[in-house]
Structure 1
Amino acid sequence: MRRVEQITDDSGAAYAQFQRAAMLEDQVRERTRDLERALDLLNESNAQLAQANRETEAARQNLANAIETIQEGFALFDADDVLVMCNSRFGMHMADVRPHLTPGLRFGDYVGLVSRSRFLELPAGERPEDWAVGRRRRHQDRHVMFNVRMTGDCWVQVSEHRTGDGGTVILQTDVTEIIRLERSERGKMLDDQARVIRATLDHIGQGVCIFDADARLVGWNQRLGQLLAIPMARFRLGTGFDALLDRFRPDFTFGIGMTGARLGDWVEDAARGALRFELRRDAELILDVFAQGMPDGGFVMSFTDVTAERAAIEALSRANETLEARVMARTLELEDALGNAERANASRTRFVAAASHDLLQPLSAAKLFLSSIGDEGLTPVARGALDKAQNALVSVEGILAALLDISKLESGKAAVSVGAVRLDRLLAQLNDEFGAIAAAKGLAFRVVGSGAVVVSDAAYLRRILQNLIGNAIRYTERGRVLVGVRRAGPMLRIEVTDTGPGIPEEAQDDIFKEFHRLNAQASASEGLGLGLAIVERACALLGHPLGLRSVVGRGTTFMVQVPAYTGGEVLVDRPKAEAPQGAMEGRIVFLVENDADLRRAMGLLLEKWGVSVLDAPSGEAALELLEELGILPDCFLVDQDLGAGMDGISFLARVRAVHGAVPARLVTAMRGAAFDARVQAAGVAVMAKPIDARALQDFIAGLAVHE
C-alpha cells in the first residue's frame, strides 16, 4: 500500500484496478457458494434417483416374482407389440420356442416361432403359415380366447387382453385335465345315449336301419329282421346297402312308382331328400318304407307294417262304394220326389194364380156394377142389401189377395224392394185405415207416431202391420189395441198390443200355420187364417225377426224388429193435390177389355162420373177404331190379357209409337217378377184387379189436375 501511495498516478488507474479486483473477489466468492449449493442439490437428486432406481428394481423384481408365482404362462407386450417380460411357464409344452422368449421379441416373430414348433398339433390339412395368419388376425381383437392342441394329447387355453396403454397381456393355461375329463364324460354320455337309443329302437314297432355316408350299415333293431324275415345273424356292421337290398328283393315287390333301380339311384345321390314307397310280400304283408338323408351324408330307413291299415282302407272303400250306391239310389229317389213336389207346388201356384185371375175378373165387374148404382130411388132395405153385397165382395177380394200373397211367398218368387221407409206416414195411414173399424167394434185404438226411418220394403211392411192390427182387432172383444215403436239398439221394434183373450203357449207355434184360427167359430168372411202365415213368411223374406209375447186372459203383443236407416236424409212425401169436383166431366177414356161384363160395368161407372167412353174387345179392334174416328182419347185403360193376338203392353207400345206418350193404365190381375220386369221396361203403370173405384177415379181426375 505504501508503494502504491508513493507512486503518483494522475489518472487513478491503480485505484480503479484495486476496486475491480475487490469486486471480482466478491463475485467469485458468491459463485462458489452457488456451485456448492448446486452440488448439494445434485448430490441429493442422485441420492433420490438411486433410491428410485432401487425401488423400481425392487418393483420389477416383485412383479417378476409375482408373475412367476402364478400357474399360468404370462407375457406382456407393449403398445408396439414388443415383448416386455414373461414368466417361465409362458410357452409351456414348447421347448423349442422357450429359448427365444426374451424381452425385445416382436409379436409377429413370436407367432412365427409358435406356428413352426414341432410341439404344436395343427388341425388336419392346415399349414403353419395358415395357422400364423389366423393367429395374427385374432390378435386384432381386444379380447381373445381359444384352445391349442399340443403333442402328447395336451391342451393349452390362450387368452389375450388389451391393456389401457395399448399393450397386450397373454395368459396360457394348461387345460389338459379339464378336456380329458370332459371327453371322458362326453363318452360316457354318448354311451348312455347309445344305450337309450338302442333300447328305443328295440322297443318301437318299426324296423329301422342306419347307413353311413358310404351306404354301409352302422345300426339296426330287432324289429327290422322280423319284418324282412332276415335272421339277425346276417346283419353285420359295414354291410353294404346293395347286399341288404338283395336279401329282400326275391320275396318283396315294390309299390307303384318305385323300382330297385330308382332306389339305388337315391342311395348313390349325395343330396338325398325324403323318399317314401311300399314293399309288398304277397298279400300277407305290406310295409310302408320311409328313407331320409342325414347331415353327415348317411341315411336312415324305417319299415312300418301297414297291412291291417290297408285292409281296413280296402274294406272301408268297399263299404263306401256300397254306401255311395245306396246313397245314389236314395238321392235319385229323393230327386224324383222333390221334382214331383216342385211340379205339384208349381201346379198349385199356377192354379192359385190362374184361379185368382179368373175370379178377379167377375169380382171386378161385380164391384164396378155395384159402384155404378146410384142412391136415387133405392129403398133403405135395398141400400142395406147393396152395402152387404159390397162388403162381401171386399171380403172375397181380401181372401183372394191373401191366397196370392201366400202363394208367392211359398214359391219364393216374391220380389222385394228394400229401401228407406218413413214410419210416420205409414203409421198415419194405418191409423186412418183401422181407426173406424176399431171404433165400430167399440175398441180404443191408438197409434203412437214415430219419426223414425227404417230399412224395409214399404209394401210388405205395410202388409205385415195390416195383418197384425187386423188380427188384434178381430180377436179383441173389449179394451184397446195399441201400436207403437221402441228402439232396441241398432234396431227398431214395432209392437202391436191388444187386450184380447191371449194365446196359450202350446198354441203359439200353430197360429202361424195356414188356415189355422184359434177361434174356430169365426166366419169365413173374417178370413181363412192366412194373416199370420203371411206375416211370418214376409218377415223371413225381409229378414225382420218376429216375436210374440202373450198372457192368457190379458192380451198379446206381436213384435217386428226392423233395422234403423242410417244412410242419410230421406225426402218427405208430399200429399197429392185433391182433384176438384166435376174434374172428370168431358174426359174421353178408351177402354180395351175382352171381358164383356167387366167392360160394360166399367163403362157404366165411368159414364156415371161424366166420362165419355170408347171401348173395344181387343187391341186390333181398338187400333181400327182409333184410325176410323181420328180422335185421341185423354187416357187408355187396357187389360193385359186380351185373348188371342196382341196383349195390353204390345197395344200400348203400338199406340205410343204413333201418338207419343199418352196417359194409360194396364188393368190386370197378373203378378210375378218376370211380369213386373216387363212392365217396368215398357214404362207402363199398372192398376191391379179387382179394380178399386176410388183409385180409378183418382187416376182420371188426376189427368185434369196435371193438364
Structure 2
Amino acid sequence: MSGSAPSDGLIDPRDPLERQNEKLRKITDALMRRVEQGSDGLGAAFAQFQRAALLEEEVTARTRELGRALDLLNASNARLAEANRETEAARRNLTNAIETVQEGFALFSAEEELVLSNSRFGLHMPDIRDKMQPGLRFSDYVELVSRSQFLALSEGETPEKWAARRMERHQDRHVIFNARMVWNRWVQVSEHRTPDGGTVILQTDVTDIMRLERRERDRMLDTQAKLIRATLDHLDQGVCIFDDQARLVGWNQRAGELLSLPVGKLRMGASFAALFERFRDEVRFAGDTTAETIADWVRMAASRPALSFEMQHHNGRLLTASAQEMPDRGFVMSFSDVSAERAAVQAVYEANERLEQRVIERTLELEDALSEAERANASKSRFVAAASHDLLQPLSAAKLYVGSALAEAGDAKTQSVLSRAGNALNAVEHILGALLDISKLDSGQAGVHLGQVHLRRMLAQLCDELAPQAEAKGLQLRLVGCDVVVQSDATYLRRILQNLIGNAVRYTQRGKVLVGVRRQGANLRVEVHDTGPGIPADQQELIFKEFHRGSGTSSAAEGLGLGLAIVDRACAVLNHPLTLHSEPGRGTCFAVEVPVSARRLPDLPAQTKSIEQPASADTQLEDMVVLLVEKDQALRDALSTTMEQWGVIVWPATDLASAQQQQAEFGIAPDAVIAGQTLRDGQNGAELIQHIRQAHGALPACLLSGRGTDAGGPDQPQLPTETALPITVLHKPLSITALHHFLLQTYQQVQRR
C-alpha cells in the first residue's frame, strides 16, 4: 500500500488518529466476519485474510508514524510555548529595565515608528504625554513636541521653525541639545542611532545643573565685573562705556578728572548727549574733527568705524580720544592725557634741531680735518715716493759699484765681504720697495693696468729666483704649473706671488714648498703650500697687518713684515680672492684666484736662468757703444764703470742737449740708448729716446724707471707712455743681470746687422 487513503473514501486523512484507528478496526472486523461467513471456499477467504493482515500492518506502521509526528508536534508546541514565555519575560524585563531608568526613554524602529517607551518619556509635557503610544511616527512626535504649551520657544521662533530645525538635526547619527521648558526648567535630549537603523531618545532633566551653571556664571560675571571695575579705576586713561541707546553703563574716576566733570554727572543711565553738552564748550578740537562730527558718529545707524581725535582742554591738558563700537551696538570712549608726551616730543624736537646744528658744525669740522688728513696722507705718499726714489738712485749706484768690485776682486775674503755688502743692499732694496708699495696701496694711488699675463712663465721666473735660497736651506722648491693666460696686472700679480713664495721659503726650515695651479670654474687658483711651522688660528688675521712677522727670529734683513700686508691690499685692489688654510705643525697654504683670460698669448720660450743671478764680466760686449742719459751722477758713474768692465763704450749725458752733443762729437749713432725716466729740467726719458730714434732710426732703448721695484726684464716691457717702438723698462734699484741681459741681446742684434 502506498499509505494513501482507500479508493472508497472510508478513511479521511484529515481525521484524528483515534478516528482513523476506529475505522480501521471496524473494517478489520467486517472483513473477518465476511471470511468466516463467505461461501466462496477457503482459498478466497484466505486471500482476503492475507490482504486484511497486510492492511493491518500498514495501518499499524502508519499509526506509529502518526504517533511520532504527534510527539514531535507536541514537543514543538511545548518549545514554542516556552519561547513565548521567555519572550514575554524578556519584554517584561526590558519594560521593567527602561522603567527603572531615571531619564525618559523611547525606541523608534527603522520605519520611524515608536516601539516602546517608559513612563518618564514626555513627563515634562503632560499635555502630549498620553499621545506617546506605540506606532507613533517620529515626525508626528516632533510635531507634538513643537506645539506643546510646556516648550519655551526663543524670541521670534515659531513651532514650525523649531520642528524643521529638529527634523534637520534628526539626520545626524548622534544629537544632543538642551530644550528650555516653561517655569525655567531644562531638558537635555540625546538621540542616537541603533545598528538596525532605529532611534533611541533619552530625556534628562538638567534643570539643577543649568541653574548651578547660571549661578556660577553669574558669580564669575560679578567677579569679572569687579575686576573690570578695579582695572578701570587703575587705568591712567579715562574710560566711558555706553549701551546701544547711548546711555552710560560704566566709567572710571579718571574720566571725570580728565574731562573736569562733576561726580554727580557721571551716573548710571546718563545719556551721552547730556554729558557731551556739559564739556563740549570747554575743549577745542584739533584738525578736521568738530563737535558735530562726534555727535554724528554716535547717532550713526550703520556700523560705526573707529574714531580718533584730539582736543585741547581749557585747563591746558591735551587729550587724545578714541571711540570704538562694541558688538551690541554700544560703544567705548577712552581719553588719554598726552600733555607730557607732547612736551617731551617738543623738547626732543628742539634738542634734535640743536643737535643737527651741532652735527652740521661738527661735520664741517670733520670735513676740514678729513681734508687735512687727506692732504697729509697725500704728502706722506709723495714724501715716501720721493724719498724712495732718492734712495733708489744711490742704492742702484751702490749695487753697481759692489757688483763691479765683486767682478774684479781677486781674493776670496774680499769677494765674501763684497757679497755680504750686496746682500745687505738687496735687503735695503726689498724694504724700500715694500714701503713704496704699501704707501701706494694705502693712498689709493696704485695704478692698475689689467692685461694678459702668462702665468706659467711668471711662476717659473719666481721659482728660479728663489731656487738658490731654497737650495741653501735644503728645501725642495717644486712648481706644478699650468700653461694658461690670466687677466691681471702683471706688476702687482708678480709682487703677490713673489711675496707668497718668498715667505714660504723664508719660514720653512725643512721639507718642501709646492707652487701649484688648479682650475676653479672661470678662475685659476694659484696655491703655495709649505711644510713650515704653520700659523695658529688666533694669528691668521694678524699676519696681514703691517710690521707683523710670523717668526720672532727673523732678522731685519729679511723684511719688516710688510709682505703679506702688500699681498692683502694688492689682492683687494685687483679683486683677486685670497684664502689661507694652516694647521700648526703641518704647514700652510695660501691661495689666490685669478680670472682666466678669454684670449691666449703666443707661446713664450721657457726661461732657463733667473735674471736675478749675479752677472759676471763678459767680453762679448767689446766695442759696443751705449748712450747713457741719467741726471744722478752717482748712478751714472756706477753704470758707466759697470758697463766699461764688460767692454762697452759709454757716452754719459744728463739731458737731451748733452746727449746730442755726445753724438755730434763722435759723429756716429750709438748701438743702444739707456735713459733715466726723469732727467734735468723736467725732461722725460721716453721722449728723449723718441727724439734720438727720429734722428738715428729704431735704436734699442732701455728706460730706467723709479716707479716700482719689480725687475720687469726684457720679456715684459712696461711703457710709461705710448711709443711707436718697444722700450725695455728696468726698475730701480737696477739688476746687474737684467742690464747685462739687455745689452747682450742688443749686441747680438748689432752683430746680425
What TM-score, normalized to structure 1?
Answer: 0.70
Where do 1:81-480 residues align within 5 Å? Answer: 81-256=112-287, 258-260=289-291, 263=294, 267=298, 268=300, 270-272=302-304, 275-281=307-313, 284-361=316-393, 364=396, 368=400, 397=429, 400-401=432-433, 403-405=435-437, 407-408=439-440, 410-411=442-443, 413=445, 432=468, 457-461=496-500
Q: Does the C-alpha gap of structure 1 residues 272 and 119 become closer, same or farther in structure 2, counting only changes over 3 Å?
A: same
| Partner SS state of residue 115, structure 2 | strand
Shift of 1:186: 1.0
Shift of 1:414: 6.0
**How many percent of aligned residue pairs carry the same amino acid?**
47
Q: Does the C-alpha gap of structure 1 residues 29 and 228 become closer, same or farther in structure 2, counting only changes over 3 Å?
A: same
Q: Which residue of 2 aligns with 1:670?
A: 707
Partner amino acid for 1:360?
L
Which stretch of the first structure deviates more once superposed, 597-606 or 188-197? 597-606
For 2:623 and 2:327, the matched residues in 1 are separated by 103
| Partner SS state of residue 97, structure 1 | helix
Deviations 1:245-294 (A, max 9, x none): 44333222334565545555655385556554433225831223344444
Shift of 1:103: 0.9
2:97 is the counterpart of 1:66 = yes
Q: Which residue of 2 aligns with 1:501?
A: none
Q: Does the C-alpha gap of structure 1 residues 368 and 144 become closer, same or farther in structure 2, counting only changes over 3 Å?
A: same
For 1:495 and 1:255, the matched residues in 2 are separated by 63
Q: Does the C-alpha gap of structure 1 residues 39 and 537 become closer, same or farther in structure 2, counting only changes over 3 Å?
A: closer
Q: Please, what is the CA RMSD of the aligned residues?
A: 5.8
Deviations 1:655-696 (A, max 9, x none): 99xx99x987653112599xx999699798742112221222
Q: Give yes or no for contact 2:35–2:45 (8 Å, CA) kept in 1.
A: no
For 2:568 and 2:399, the matched residues in 1 are separated by 34
For 1:104 and 1:221, the matched residues in 2 are separated by 65
For 2:415 and 2:60, the matched residues in 1 are separated by 172
For 1:566 and 1:377, the matched residues in 2 are separated by 44
Q: Give yes or no for contact 2:405–2:418 (8 Å, CA) kept in 1.
A: no
Shift of 1:227: 0.8
| Partner SS state of residue 126, structure 2 | coil
Unaligned runs of 5+ in 2: 1-33, 481-492, 509-529, 573-577, 597-604, 711-715
| Partner SS state of residue 130, structure 2 | helix
Q: Does the C-alpha gap of structure 1 residues 246 and 464 become closer, same or farther in structure 2, counting only changes over 3 Å?
A: farther
Shift of 1:194: 0.7
Partner amino acid for 2:216?
E
Shift of 1:76: 0.8
Q: Give yes or no for contact 2:243–2:249 (8 Å, CA) kept in 1.
A: yes
Q: Give yes or no for contact 1:68–1:88 (8 Å, CA) kept in 2.
A: yes
Q: Give yes or no for contact 1:486–1:494 (8 Å, CA) kept in 2.
A: no
Q: Which residue of 2 aligns with 1:486?
A: 533
Number of residue-to-residue matches in the alignment:
629
| Partner SS state of residue 28, structure 1 | helix
Shift of 1:122: 2.6
Unaligned runs of 5+ in 1: 437-445, 470-482, 497-508, 519-525, 547-557
Q: Which residue of 2 aligns with 1:22?
A: 53
For 1:300 and 1:19, the matched residues in 2 are separated by 123
Deviations 1:90-143 (A, max 9, x none): 122223322321111122222222223332223333333333233223223332
2:736 is the counterpart of 1:693 = yes
Partner amino acid for 1:309?
E
For 2:588 and 2:292, the matched residues in 1 are separated by 73
Q: Give yes or no for contact 2:619–2:646 (8 Å, CA) kept in 1.
A: no
For 2:717 and 2:403, the matched residues in 1 are separated by 33
| Partner SS state of residue 485, structure 1 | coil
Q: Which residue of 2 aligns with 1:502?
A: none
For 1:95 and 1:494, the matched residues in 2 are separated by 97
Shift of 1:387: 8.8
Looking at CA atoms only, which structure, 1 or 2, has the larger radius of gyration?
Answer: 2
Which stretch of the first structure deviates more once superposed, 47-56 or 171-180? 47-56
2:591 is the counterpart of 1:576 = no
Q: Give yes or no for contact 1:485–1:494 (8 Å, CA) kept in 2.
A: no
Q: Give yes or no for contact 2:433–2:708 (8 Å, CA) kept in 1.
A: no
Q: Give yes or no for contact 1:198–1:221 (8 Å, CA) kept in 2.
A: yes
2:90 is the counterpart of 1:43 = no
Q: Give yes or no for contact 1:73–1:173 (8 Å, CA) kept in 2.
A: yes
For 1:150 and 1:677, the matched residues in 2 are separated by 112
**Of 64, 75, 79, which residue of structure 1 is paired with 2:110?**
79
Q: Does the C-alpha gap of structure 1 residues 263 and 665 become closer, same or farther in structure 2, counting only changes over 3 Å?
A: farther
Shift of 1:153: 1.7
For 2:157 and 2:727, the matched residues in 1 are separated by 100
Q: Does the C-alpha gap of structure 1 residues 667 and 96 become closer, same or farther in structure 2, counting only changes over 3 Å?
A: farther
For 1:367 and 1:434, the matched residues in 2 are separated by 23
Shift of 1:378: 10
Q: Which residue of 2 aligns with 1:7?
A: 40
Shift of 1:7: 2.3
Where do 1:632-643 residues align within 5 Å? Answer: 639-641=676-678
Partner amino acid for 1:93?
H
Q: Does the C-alpha gap of structure 1 residues 588 and 13 become closer, same or farther in structure 2, counting only changes over 3 Å?
A: farther
Q: Does the C-alpha gap of structure 1 residues 264 and 701 become closer, same or farther in structure 2, counting only changes over 3 Å?
A: farther
Q: Give yes or no for contact 1:450–1:485 (8 Å, CA) kept in 2.
A: no
Which stretch of the first structure deviates more once superposed, 344-353 or 30-39? 30-39
For 1:601 and 1:329, the matched residues in 2 are separated by 58
Partner amino acid for 1:252?
V
Q: Does the C-alpha gap of structure 1 residues 272 and 365 become closer, same or farther in structure 2, counting only changes over 3 Å?
A: farther
Partner amino acid for 1:116?
R
Q: Give yes or no for contact 1:75–1:171 (8 Å, CA) kept in 2.
A: yes
| Partner SS state of residue 250, structure 1 | helix
